[in-house]
A = this chain, B = another copy of it.
């Protein structure tokens, strides 16, 4: 197929119309399209419009409810649990983040755990909703099991990303959005398509041996927690992934660990699921609940000496040398 370029508006109109077509309300279709395409705008091609058909397939097999009644099922002044009614995570997560922001306005911080949802696109989109309110945003989600804990041969956790966004005045905000694995599944897929061996510490084979085969997951292998192996701190990546599961699913009543529903519609649902759908966790913290926002956002740019060790990496064109801004790293896709 010849390469063709589409404007954001063209992609948005198309995506919105697809969501309308499967039965979403106009409002939900617009929200879902905005969430999904935020990935393409930030250069995370793996999570954007390329996945639109995946969401449609999930709707076809009745795993996504296009007309969900999203509601709060429990709350306190600073917390809530939201039931997503099997809707699109792309719609449910912004709904939950809005509640977190409103609670932060009232009592300083707001924390919302979500059950009965589906994949929510990139975490950064939801966390960054906090920025315009001079709030710090947090977003996490669990995901279907692709990751073997340290010393395990079974896949027990998803890539369970953590995102934090913090406002920085006139500078780009601090936005960190990271899978708690050495490499995100999307990065692995890039190597699969090119048949390039993976670096050490990305995957293991079905017996738990270190592997460099980008296709290892198709033969019983697993992604590895951030760190890769015990000597390099994989127990820390494992613990971080477990934390995300606790916040996203154990607090909300969603499925956790190996029972999280898969994204590909052709993969069967895990048997005997203990919870509902997949789980997210959204947080908002008013900066001025701690100190004046202008003090927080005042920037000292701290350059540091580049080691000259940057090198090109398959599938990516270039990197920046990150710079600490008042303790913040410049917004940058890796």
Contact = CB atoms under 8 A, between A and B. Distances in A.
A174 interface: yes
A242 B289 contact: no
How many A residues touch the partner, as a band? 35 or more
A182 B232 contact: yes
A243 B77 contact: no
Nearest to A291: B253
A256 B327 contact: yes
B246 A291 contact: no
Given A109-B79, A152-B304, A74 B242 contact: no
A154 interface: yes
A91 interface: no
A152 B209 CA distance: 32
Interface string A69-108: 0000010111101000000000000000000000000111
B236 A226 contact: yes
Interface of A: 74, 76-79, 81, 106-109, 111, 113, 136, 148-154, 156, 162, 164, 166, 174, 176, 178-183, 199-201, 204, 207-209, 226-233, 235-240, 242-243, 245-246, 249-253, 256-258, 274, 285-287, 289-291, 295-296, 300, 302, 304-310, 313, 319, 321-322, 324, 326-329, 334
Closest 7 A-B residue pairs measured CB to CB? Answer: A208-B307, A76-B108, A176-B239, A154-B304, A79-B108, A77-B107, A79-B289
